[in-house]
Structure 1
Amino acid sequence: MSDKKRNVPVLRFNGFSDAWEQRKLGDMGKTFAGLSGKTKEDFGHGNAKYVTYMNVFSNPVSNHKMVESVEIDTKQQQVQYGDVFFTTSSETPEEVGMSSVWLENIKNVYLNSFCFGYRPTAIFAPYYLAFMLRSPILRKKFMLLAQGISRYNISKNKVMDIQVLIPALTEQKKIGAFFQHLDNTIALHQRKLDALKQMKKGFLQQLFPENGEKLPRVRFTGFQEEWEQRKLGDMGKTFAGLSGKTKEDFGHGNAKYVTYMNVFSNPVSNHKMVESVEIDTKQQQVQYGDVFFTTSSETPEEVGMSSVWLENIKNVYLNSFCFGYRPTAIFAPYYLAFMLRSPILRKKFMLLAQGISRYNISKNKVMDIQVLIPALTEQKKIGAFFQHLDNTIALYQYKLDQLNILKKACLQNMFI
């Protein structure tokens, strides 16, 4: 007999063998309404709080800091420890009926008007309940209840008819503690990743000179010389991306081209973010040390994004929505990659953006941009610093991605 037919999950902790009990949510608790009878003038002040829609939508366990002010109103239902909140409306059926469990003992806290509450009368391990209601099997049940066309709604009476499978309380606690620990680990890695990204942002600001200055605010020890100001056009030549192609020319062939999103997303190009095209001797092949620039974007903030190519691979071209720059001066490539992404350079690119609904940049204007360049030894030091920082960020991002994959798999296999 399969695990599903025996009412047990695929993945289970040792020591538990009993079948899970099937019950309706409505048999194990009662619903209550969120705030009612309010106008926009009632919000933003007062000594009470209400749990926001985005708090419920975003968190299996409610964040007690994601609340906003409202006046105390004795006619409203206060939330209690162990209450569950459900969103009643969303733009897609996949996002309707998102749940969040409240695990605080705070007076004068209400629920927003776009959600309804559920107060269990049965005893649950709260973290088990929080993650069981977010498991794929339960989310599918909520999606099937979503009604609407441009906006989807869910009936609390229908939610109360949902059948759920419940293990003994000791097993609930074990499962809940596991997901609580996993979520805490994910949150820790996310905080570390955010801190590293913030650190990188700060150093991009401070390790390159501001406008009108000839030295950066922060400098590695042992370097004292002033930086030299030069035009990009005096230190290299431009070349065009692919030309004379139609959509039928792409997706096959023994050559590759660097995609627009590769250039847009990466200070140093990712050699795996390339796509197929036929070999064409009339096209310009890219070389180690080439710099690519995007020529067009929907906002001026995103035009002229740069990426340095650090591969020695034959028959690789540049996409047609970018242009290339081949330095004739000697640069430390990682210095060049991050200097061109520094806030001071990004401001210069933004000022060159021309357009209304879509913004474009002239490569001739880009070549007129003045940049400040230190000696090669200092370039290498700065470049190595950012290379190491980016590698550390990538490592934490990988760990975070793996933890989220693990959580997804466990949500799939530890509930029925």
Structure 2
Amino acid sequence: MIRQTSRKYASAWEQRKLGEIADKVTAKNLDGNITEVLTNSAEYGVINQTEFFDHAVAKESNIAGYYVIAPGDFVYNPRISATAPVGPIRRNTLGIHGVMSPLYTVFRLTDAVDGTYLSHFFKTNGWHGFMKLEGNSGARSDRFSIGDATFFEMPIPVPSSSEQHAIGSFFSRLDNLITLHQRKRLWFAK
């Protein structure tokens, strides 16, 4: 007897450009109403600047030129590190509005792409090849250089909505499980 298996997700994935599913955030903090200064760390993601640097790097007098970042927005940090060879792209999961230095590229999804799926995609190196081909390390060896127009040409694999949700949920549960085991290991080491 031949056993038939059904494939829950058999549809082909689309290849979309980042600029087709997201827009660059250009709104500045001109009125100075938002004072929560955020940064994007390869290791910790989008976090409060004072938590990362142990002090405020930005001054209230100069954050008027910073981009306003909303919950769910993505941030590209061009700073190169051992864990982020072309710089990290992370999502604002803090649930708050903040401001981000204009050295970073902030973008917001405009199409029906699952933000959790895309967040996990950017934790892979699946987009690094494009960056290495289209950009360069620039004059400063610790910064990656790529123009906005080129950056938003980045190809993004986009499965069906239900598959995006399933992938995002799977990797979120996996991340939570890893964090739980790390905490247990630290607790037992005490």
Normalised to the residue count of structure 1, the TM-score between the two structures is 0.37
Whole-angstrom CA distance in 2 between matches of 1:75 and 1:22: 34
What is the Cα deviation at residue 165 of structure 1? 1.3
Q: Considering only aligned residues, what root-mean-square deviation do their CA atoms show, in Å?
A: 3.3
Quote the residue 2:38 is aligned against.
51
Quote the residue 2:120 is aligned against.
131
Q: How many residues align?
A: 174
Deviation sequence 1:240-272 (CA, Å, 0-9, x none): xxxxxxxxxxxxxxxxxxxxxxxxxxxxxxxxx
Q: Mark the runs of 5 or more structure 1 residues left unpaired by the alignment.
A: 1-12, 38-45, 200-416
Whole-angstrom CA distance in 2 between matches of 1:34 and 1:50: 15
Whole-angstrom CA distance in 1 between matches of 2:143 and 2:68: 27
**Cα pair 2:34 2:99 within 8 Å, conserved:** no
Residues 15 and 91 (structure 1), Cα distance of their counterparts in 2 relative to 1, 3 Å cut: closer
SS at match of 2:35: strand
Whole-angstrom CA distance in 1 between matches of 2:125 and 2:43: 16
Alignment of 1:366-381 (within 5 A): none
Quote the residue 2:145 is aligned against.
154
Alignment of 1:130-279 (within 5 A): 130-144=119-133, 145-148=135-138, 150-155=141-146, 156-197=148-189, 199=190
**Cα pair 1:86 1:115 within 8 Å, conserved:** yes
Alignment of 1:9-408 (within 5 A): 14-32=7-25, 48-54=35-41, 57-59=42-44, 62-63=46-47, 66=51, 71=60, 76-90=66-80, 95-107=85-97, 109-144=98-133, 145-148=135-138, 150-155=141-146, 156-197=148-189, 199=190
What is the Cα deviation at residue 31 of structure 1? 1.5
What is the Cα deviation at residue 35 of structure 1? 7.8
Deviation sequence 1:288-314 (CA, Å, 0-9, x none): xxxxxxxxxxxxxxxxxxxxxxxxxxx
SS at match of 1:18: coil
Between the two proteins, what is the percent identity of the paired residues? 22
Q: Mark the runs of 5 or more structure 2 residues left unpaired by the alignment.
A: 1-5
Whole-angstrom CA distance in 2 between matches of 1:123 and 1:103: 18
Q: Which has the larger radius of gyration?
A: 1
Whole-angstrom CA distance in 2 between matches of 1:179 and 1:185: 10
Whole-angstrom CA distance in 1 between matches of 2:177 and 2:109: 28
Runs of at least 4 residues of structure 1 off by over 6 A? Answer: 34-37
**Cα pair 1:51 1:111 within 8 Å, conserved:** yes
Deviation sequence 1:264-291 (CA, Å, 0-9, x none): xxxxxxxxxxxxxxxxxxxxxxxxxxxx
What is the Cα deviation at residue 194 of structure 1? 2.4
Whole-angstrom CA distance in 2 between matches of 1:143 and 1:30: 22
Whole-angstrom CA distance in 2 between matches of 1:50 and 1:27: 28
Whole-angstrom CA distance in 2 between matches of 1:138 and 1:190: 28
Residues 122 and 64 (structure 1), Cα distance of their counterparts in 2 relative to 1, 3 Å cut: farther
